[in-house]
Structure 1
Amino acid sequence: MNRVGALVSLWCYEDSWLRTFAKYLLKFLGYVSCCSAAALAFGGVSVSVMYRNYRYLFQKTFLCLPGWLTIGAAIILLPTGLLAISISAKTSRYKQGLLMYLLLVLLCLEMSSAVLAQLYSLQAPSELKSTMGYLIYQYNRSPSKDPGVRVVDMVQRRLQCCGVQNYTDWLKTTVPSWYILAGSAHVPESCCKETYSDCMGDLSHLDQIFQEGCLKKLEDWIQFLMLYVFWYCVVLSILGLLIFAINGLLMRQQPLPDLRFLESSSYTFTEAFRYH
């Protein structure tokens, strides 16, 4: 009986140590989740703002969807981290169940965002190239109030670029158009550098205009945001699975009853058995 009592005591000690370690790890992961919520929200907001600014260029790709899903995941991630910290301080079955539910919702949102981000990062460049090429061709024959004209000017001013691949895209149309002024070729004034107030887009003064195309700049920015959302969601999904496993361990391992009384009563029990 002494050996049984010793084994029970060792079991209780190991179980207590494991639970203590799991709680500390859960608390640490909870803090990490709270801090990560801001970074995840930044990625979602950046994607949404980019889509709002350049939505005219994305007619087939619903690029704002991964942004909205990421923002939703960030909103849920903050209370999830706080709940994990709370559970590490005081275990509660209700809180543990709620944490499991929030982690499942988070996993769905994060994986959906990651898949869409990866998908759109492959589809967006071809759509951008096609749409921008069409808008620049139509720009040559469109009135100044056309929304496509405003979009092209806005993109070129904001990204400090000119044309799709470069400024020569404005000269590739075979139809005589507005860009031939006074016998010299011109590009839109939105291609002009801000430091030259007298710039009229005359190609005889290349130093006054931006020569790099807009497509590469937009592609680079989209690829950066999509990769940011993709990898952040993947890492946080792994983090969520780890929290899920630790919380499940704490839910399964309940404190064992104190059986050390067997050691003190073993002698009495044996003697009583012999007596009878």
Structure 2
Amino acid sequence: MNRVRALMPWWCYDDSWHRTLSQYLLKFLGYILWCSAAALGLGGLSVILMCGNYKSLLQESFLSLSGWLAVAVAIFLLPTGLLAMSLSAKSTRYRQGTLMYLLLILLCLEVSSAVLARFHSLQASSELRSAMRYLVSQYNGTLSKDPSGRVMDKMQRRLRCCGVQNYTDWLKTTDSSWHLPGESHRVPKSCCKERSSGCTGDVSHLDLIFQEGCLKKLENWFQFLLLYVFWCCVILSVLGLLIIVINGLLMRHQAFSSFQLLDSYTFI
């Protein structure tokens, strides 16, 4: 028996500490994946809600697709993380193989979500700028029956801003039908800091209106959310690759467990 054992490679019988370390790492990384589902899901939902609040500016955009894909990844992380945490020394090859397939699918989803979020973060600025400039040029007052005509008012009140780049964008509009006859140039009342202060939007009282434009504020929000989703997916992709390597090592160790039959009393 000792002669048989001496002929066996070292990795066939003296690897218990390798398996133990791999199992602990797998459980720890699985816990991180499971907890990361909440962080990524929150980012994806924020992108979806942001696109819903400003859908008039992104009517022909697929920007919300980044959020939906991030939510799908977050949902997929839950069973994958739980399965990684539940693996033990007696885990079957079927469970380890299932985890490997889940990780591969998850890796594809994460890479797709990261690429899409990065692409949309670069594209969002130009889309927002062109849409906001169009709305300013078509603005005809707060009493407009057209829902798109009230988009700028809602956005300026919500973001506490005025115009696209700044308040002077309203002074450059060619359509001045919403101005009252005989009045000096003014901005919409939605630019007023305090609605009950008697502000009429007259530019001669700049202290009563917001002077910062809406584009920069809205652009910063979109950039923050999309880059948040992007980096979450990148980090999770790296963790997924690490789990694939560790799970592969466990499957490799289990593959050589059949050599333990040589240690049986039948060979004495």
Q: Which residue of 2 aligns with 1:210?
A: 210
Alpha-carbon spacing, 1:175–1:77, altered in 2? closer, same or farther (3 Å):
closer
CA distance in 1, matches of 2:34, 2:133: 44
Alpha-carbon spacing, 1:143–1:198, altered in 2? closer, same or farther (3 Å):
closer
Q: Is the 8 A contact 2:142 2:150 kept in 1?
A: no
| TM norm structure 2 | 0.90
Q: Which residue of 2 aligns with 1:128?
A: 128
Structure 1: runs of 5+ lacking an equivalent? 266-276
Q: Which residue of 2 aligns with 1:107?
A: 107
Alpha-carbon spacing, 1:124–1:168, altered in 2? closer, same or farther (3 Å):
same
Q: Is the 8 A contact 1:24 1:88 kept in 2?
A: no
Matched letter for residue 199 of structure 1: C
Alpha-carbon distance, 1:55 to partner: 1.0
Cα deviation 1:2-42 (Å, max 9, x = unaligned): 46535749545532221111111100101111111100001
Alpha-carbon distance, 1:252 to partner: 2.4
Cα deviation 1:242-272 (Å, max 9, x = unaligned): 112211221222134154568x94xxxxxxx
- After the TM superposition, which of the residue ranges 31-40 and 145-154 deviates more from structure 2? 145-154
Q: Which residue of 2 aligns with 1:24?
A: 24
1:1-276 residue pairs with structure 2 within 5 A? 2=2, 5-6=5-6, 8=8, 10-12=10-12, 14-88=14-88, 90-140=90-140, 144-180=144-180, 182-194=182-194, 196-254=196-254, 255=257, 256-257=259-260, 259-260=262-263, 265=268
Matched letter for residue 201 of structure 1: G
Secondary structure (helix, strand or coil) at the match of 2:70 reads helix
Matched letter for residue 55 of structure 1: K
CA distance in 2, matches of 1:100, 1:116: 24
Q: Is the 8 A contact 1:161 1:214 kept in 2?
A: yes
Matched letter for residue 72 of structure 1: A
Alpha-carbon distance, 1:165 to partner: 0.3
Structure 2: runs of 5+ lacking an equivalent? none
Matched letter for residue 39 of structure 1: A
CA distance in 2, matches of 1:108, 1:74: 13
Matched letter for residue 26 of structure 2: L
RMSD between superposed Cα atoms in Å: 2.3
How many residues end up aligned between the 2 structures?
264
Report sequence identity in percent: 66
Alpha-carbon spacing, 1:71–1:176, altered in 2? closer, same or farther (3 Å):
closer
| TM norm structure 1 | 0.87
Cα deviation 1:219-260 (Å, max 9, x = unaligned): 111111111111110110111111122112212221341545
Alpha-carbon distance, 1:77 to partner: 0.1
- After the TM superposition, which of the residue ranges 67-76 and 10-19 deviates more from structure 2? 10-19
Larger Rg: 1
Alpha-carbon spacing, 1:15–1:205, altered in 2? closer, same or farther (3 Å):
same
- After the TM superposition, which of the residue ranges 204-213 and 242-251 deviates more from structure 2? 242-251
